[in-house]
Every structure is written in structure tokens, then in C-alpha cells.
Amino acid sequence: MRVLVLTKIFPNSVEPLSSPFNRQQFAALGRSCELEVLATIPWFPGAWAAKRWSPAGRLADVPREEHIDGLPVRHPRFVYVPRLAQGLTGPLYAASLAPAVLRYRGRVDIVLGSWAYPDGYAAVTLAELLGVPAVIKVHGSDLNVLAKRKAPRRRMESAFRRAARVVTVSRPLAQIAAELGAPRENIDVVPNGIDRTLFHPRDRAAARRALGIPVEGQVVLFVGHVAAAKGALDLVRAFATAGERLKGTRLVMVGDGADFAECGRLAEALRVDTTFAGAEPHERVPLWLAACDVLALPSWNEGVPNVVLEALASGRRVVATRVGGIPDVVATDELGELVAPRDPEALACALERAVVTPYDPMRVSSALPTPSWEGSAELLHRSLLAALEARARASFVHTITETQAV
């Protein structure tokens, strides 16, 4: 099977830490089929001069081709127009990528669009031009947020009806995909995986010494984009709300993001003891998870965030919000506690309980049923094969019908 992946969420030489879940799953998938990735880059005339304010400017130096985790990756540019009507984004995205994609005519069996819009919409549109089926893989905020906007929703509905299959990372996302028009029999839930060679219980004190942070006291860890929608500011406010109740507990934030500076100013203004570690390579995240007592992820919306899976695999309990597929993962008190999003007071109370609740890291880790990345890729491989088989059956029926008519 020859697979062409179309996605704007994939790492590159300028942003090597981006979307590690896609990198790991597609690398594993590439070991069982021929796979090439078109990892798109936004572009507009003079983008290179706008590095300070535009993602297109920051990514202008990404090379046209790379090899990442053994995969051939091309970086075609798509026309990016800030504040363009979102209903036009999908067609413009597809038109921008058509020259690169149409070169694969006769060379691929299936197109996989990873992200509902504009990637999934473009994957379906361009796969029709290639005469092959398309599969759309969705992740979280592409359905939880973007699908609530009128114009993108219409485009998604069109794409989901035409896609051979839709792959989601959780049952709640599968329900949304069905509401958007994907036939339920064509929806597959394929959970993200975990690299258990990296994420497993480790000694907390040794990890703290390796990171140069105090061995004594409790640590609440945040890992991810430091942004309001990820609950980063809510987390700082929760610590301030708790006050003496979390005395002796340090907040550590690993990551960068749009609200990094604001988060720092808020922590300083509210006198919250916070360590901002900045962005870290994925290989360093297990050490940070080992060093903490609890992972906090108070996002406003999610699919199934990999950092929650990684924390549990590392034997660390989680305090998170009751959104997306998180309740499917943090399903028992042994694994952690869930609160409503945008509620710093409830978050403060949950954190207070979490840092004083004893638990067995090995029991937490063993209670997580998440597959390896190889297992996750195998499930995705089955979904792609099902799409090809459905297309073959439809073609056979069509041929028989035409023959009988003659």
C-alpha cells in the first residue's frame, strides 16, 4: 500500500518539537507500507520579512525536502492570507497543493489528511483528482473548536461525507464526526500510542537532581503550549487561589507558546512560585514527568492529549479538565481527578488533594491500556486497508452493474 500523507501539523528543521504524535505514528506506519509526507508550510509574498509576527515568516527557512524518522518529507508551500474568510481557506489550500499532489498520479493508493480542515478537505478533493480514496484523521480542536464556525463546518461536512473513512483519537470525537456527516460505519477510533521505552516509572529524587530542582517539596507540572486555551493562565490563578493550601508546592511549566510572556507576568503579579523551563526536546519530557508529583492539564478543549498518556505511563497521577477524550483515559480515582474547564477554584481544590494523596507509580502505569506506537500504527493501517477494500468493492459492483446493463 502506497500512502500519501497531507498535513500541516508535523515537525520540521525549524520547529523540530512540533506534533511528535504524528511523527511517531507515521514513522511506525511507514515501516509497514510505502509512505510519503507532504508537511505543508504557509506562505505569502515577503513572508521571510515577517518572522516576528507571522508563522509563515518563522517557517520561511524550512527546506523543500527533509528526511525525518526515516520518512521522506516534502514541504510544499500553501498560500496563507491572514484574516481570509475561513470558508475559502480549504479551497485555496487545495489549489495551492494541487501541483505537488498531482505529481503522485499513479504512484499512490490512498491519501491521508491529518487534521480536519483544511487538510482533510484538501485530501478528499485532491484524492478525487488522483482517482484514489481519502481518509481524514482528526485530533481534537479541529472538531471541538473549528467545527463550531459556520464556514469551516460546511466544508468539513462535505469532506466527511466524501471520505472513505474518518479516523478519530477518541470516542467523543467519533460522535462529533458522525454529527458532521461521516457515516458511523466509516469511523474508526485509533488511539495515539506511547513509547514505553521512554515513559515508565522512574525515581523522583534522581530525576530532580538531574534537572537541578529541589528534591524536597511537591511539584505540579504543566507540559505543552503555554496558552490560555491550554489552561496555563487558569493554572497560575488556581495556585494563587489556593494560597497557603499549596504552600511548599512548586509549579513547573515546560513549553512555549503564545501566552508564555503573559503567563510569566501573571505568576509574578500573583506571587506564584513558578519555574518556567521553556521548550524541551521530547526525549527530556520523561525526566520532567519523573520529577513531578502530579501533572496538571486544565485545557478548555482537547482530543486525547499525549502528555496525559505519557504522564500516566510514567506513573504520575493527573489533574485535568473533563473535556474531549480525557475522561476515557483518566477513568478512575487511581489515575487522577477531573474538573470543569475555566474553573481555577475547582482546579485549586483538586490540586490540593492531589499533592497529598499517596499512590503507587507502578499501579498507575500498569492501569493505562494505551497501545505502543507500533500498535497505534497497526490500527491506522487497518483503517487505510478498509478504505481501499471498500473502494475495490464499489468498483467491482459498478463494473458488474454496467455489464448487466449491456
Distance in angstroms (rounded) separating the CA atoms of residues 316 and 314: 6
Q: How far is CA 262 from CA 19, 75, 242, 250, 257, in A?
A: 23, 32, 20, 19, 10
Q: What is the CATH number of the domain that holds 386?
A: 3.40.50.2000
In a domain, 199, yes or no: no
Distance in angstroms (rounded) separating the CA atoms of residues 122 and 159: 8
| 264-291 core/surface letters (b: 16 or more CB in 10 A; e: else) | eebbeeeebebebbeebebeebbbbbbb
Q: Is 135 in the same domain as 166?
A: yes
Which of 351, 356, 156 lies closest to 238, judged by CA?
351
Mean pLDDT estimate for the chain: 93
Q: Is 344 in the same domain as 382?
A: no
pLDDT band at 142 (very low <50, low <70, confident <90, very high): very high
The lowest-confidence range among 244-248, 264-268, 364-368 is 244-248
In a domain, 75, yes or no: yes
Are the C-beta atoms of residues 120 and 89 closer than 8 Å to each other?
no
pLDDT tens digit string along 57-116? 889 899 999 999 999 999 999 998 877 778 789 999 999 999 999 999 999 999 999 999
The answer, yes or no, to whether residue 325 has pLDDT greater than 80, is yes
pLDDT at 231: 97
Number of domains into which the chain is organized: 2
Q: Is 267 in the same domain as 301?
A: yes
Bond prior to 133 in cis (omega within 30° of 0): no
Share of residues in the chain with pLDDT > 70 (%):
97
Q: Is 270 in the same domain as 251?
A: yes
* Mean pLDDT score, 311-333: 95
* Mean pLDDT score, 392-403: 62
Q: Is 185 in the same domain as 247?
A: no
Q: Is 236 in the same domain as 325?
A: yes
The lowest-confidence range among 147-161, 306-320, 336-350, 383-397 is 383-397
Angle, nearest 10°, between helix axes 86-102 and 121-130?
40
The answer, yes or no, to whether residue 397 has pLDDT greater than 70, is no
The answer, yes or no, to whether residue 399 has pLDDT greater than 80, is no
Q: Is 12 in the same domain as 50?
A: yes
pLDDT at 406: 55
Q: Is 18 in the same domain as 155?
A: yes
Q: Is 23 in the same domain as 116?
A: yes
Q: Is 389 in the same domain as 328?
A: no
pLDDT band at 396 (very low <50, low <70, confident <90, very high): low
pLDDT tens digit string along 185-215? 999 999 999 999 999 999 999 999 999 999 9
In a domain, 391, yes or no: yes
- Bigger pLDDT: 405 vs 64: 64
pLDDT at 400: 62
The answer, yes or no, to whether residue 56 has pLDDT greater than 60, is yes
Q: Is 42 in the same domain as 188?
A: yes
In a domain, 11, yes or no: yes
The answer, yes or no, to whether residue 248 has pLDDT greater than 80, is yes
pLDDT band at 47 (very low <50, low <70, confident <90, very high): confident
* Mean pLDDT score, 150-175: 95
Distance in angstroms (rounded) separating the CA atoms of residues 76 and 63: 9
Range of the domain at 14: 2-193+374-402
pLDDT band at 392 (very low <50, low <70, confident <90, very high): confident
pLDDT band at 45 (very low <50, low <70, confident <90, very high): confident
In a domain, 187, yes or no: yes
Are the C-beta atoms of residues 313 and 199 closer than 8 Å to each other?
yes
In a domain, 198, yes or no: no
- Indicate the pTM of the whole model: 0.88
Q: Is 56 in the same domain as 181?
A: yes
